[in-house]
Amino acid sequence: PESLTLARPVFFVGFMGAGKTSVARRLARSCRVASVDMDTYIERREGKRVKDIFAESGEAGFRAIETEVLRELGAKPDPLLVSCGGGVVVTPENHEVFRESGFVVYLHVTADEAASRISDVSTRPLFQNLEAARARAAERLPLYEAVADVTVDTAGKSVFAIAREVQRIL
Ligand code: S3P
């Protein structure tokens, strides 16, 4: 299909480095629908980089903003591809938003592969060392699985291949 006939937003979730932003953007272009990256949206709204929000308000401050934005985007009646931050699943009330609105695509990646894809960890306050990232990824796995309507394994696949796979599913 060339165009998606989605009446509601589709959310991309998964660990940092899974390819959520790239895949949503790629798919948005080929399907001619809008895409929104939640972290970019938050940075514009707050006038600050994510890392500075973490530094000034802590993870809790960031999570509160993230939940407000997720609610806002989840309420949109439009076809929209939303790439979420990797930690969106750690806030229990976000699971309600996912359940009530839209369709959730979980892009699976291991912490080790994610590390090889991430070129600049300075923008990711929660990906500072591999050991901690592995533990964090393991902790989050059941949370991603709980919200996912569909899971796509991204191991060894290009953004293009992943986007095509998701397009077939939607
Ligand atoms: C986070 C992931 C980041 C960003 C923030 C926290 C996380 O998004 O929201 O640094 O807790 O995993 P990406 O998954 O786009 O890197």
Taking the CA of residue 124 as reference, the ligand 1 atom at the shortest distance is 10
Position in ligand 1 atom list of the atom nearest CA 125: 10
For ligand 1, residues with CB inside 6 Å are: 16, 39, 50, 85-87, 124-126
DSSP 125: T
pLDDT tens, N- to C-terminus, the chain (170 residues): 444 556 789 999 999 999 999 999 999 999 899 999 999 999 999 999 999 999 999 999 999 999 999 999 999 988 899 999 999 999 999 999 999 988 999 999 999 999 998 888 888 989 988 999 999 999 999 999 999 999 999 999 999 999 999 999 98
Q: Give me the CATH code for the 9-169 domain, please.
A: 3.40.50.300
**Nearest to residue 101, comparing CAs of 147, 141, 143?**
147
ipTM, two decimals: 0.97
CB 103 within 8 A of CB 7: no
User: Domain locations in the chain?
Assistant: 9-169
Residue whose CA is at the smallest distance from ligand 1 atom 3:
85
